Amino acid sequence: MERMLVVVFDSEKKAYEGKAALSQLEREGSVAAYAGAVVAKNADGTTTVKQFDDFGPAGSLVGTSVGSLIGLLGGPAGLALGAASGLALGAMFDLDNVRVGADFVEDVAKSLKPTKVALIAEIEEDWTTPVDTRMEALGGTVLRRALWDVEEEIRQKDIAAMKADLAQLKAEAAKANAERRAKLQARIDQLKKKIDSQEQEASKRQEAFQARQKAKTAILKKNAAAAGRALKDLANTRL
């Protein structure tokens, strides 16, 4: 199951140990990690991205569930780049991109108190015990939530509805007098811009989805190979 994983630690050192533990679990084939970051909550309430890893084509967290969650936790005015300078921030504050409920974001915000440091990752796991065992041994507080998929069908229906409105406005404008036609044309132009914007956003989301699915497939293949080697080594180990 694809999940958002957040593990809150008391120190940056422990957070990096948690990150190393997650990498070890990935090598063992217990999980697959698609994007991750180490994030600190500063004493003044701002959030600093200490380190990030992303396997997407853009090489940043933008557009990922992890990036969007970080943006929501820090807010537009409360996010510092820290060691991750060069991390683009556009479109990071979208709850749809986080793909979890607002209640989960609130739970994470409550746990990530000033001076705390969190490991945030988008992972695939079949069961929770491996991650929980490793992270709890390091003193981490584990929060996770299954990721849901944005219903693209709903977005397309919204676009279709706007296009129907546009057709109706054009039909009315064709029959209206000059004064009324001018008012209708202003509404037509505004609706056209909105439709174009929605279609461009839908296209970007689809491209990003396809790119990340390709990257995830490669990661899963790598993990499957790693798991297979581990099982082979185990079978050949003498008792």
Note the pLDDT tens digit of each residue in 97-148.
677 878 888 899 999 999 999 999 988 888 899 999 999 999 999 999 988 7
pLDDT (average), residues 47-53:
83
The residue that leads in pLDDT, 56 or 155, is 155
Question: Among 66-75, 89-98, 120-129, 147-156, where is mean pLDDT lowest?
Answer: 89-98
Q: Which residues does residue 141 pair with via DSSP β-bridges, in sequence order? A: 8
Residue with tokens 């069908």: 153
Among the listed residues 90, 7, 28, 78, the one whose alpha carbon sits nearest the alpha carbon of residue 230: 28
| DSSP run (H or E) holding 60 | none
pLDDT the model gives residue 232 = 52
Interval 162-190: pLDDT, tens: 899 999 999 999 999 998 899 999 999 99
- pTM, two decimals, is 0.64
For residue 28, give both structure tokens.
């063992």
Helices (H) and strands (E) in the chain, counts: 7, 6
pLDDT the model gives residue 159 = 87
| DSSP run (H or E) holding 97 | helix 95-98
CA–CA distances in Å: residue 81 to residues 14, 52, 72, 160: 20, 10, 14, 39
pLDDT the model gives residue 237 = 46
Q: What percent of the chain has pLDDT over 70?
A: 69
User: Is the backbone of residue 139 left (phi > 0), alpha (psi -120 to 50) or beta?
Assistant: left
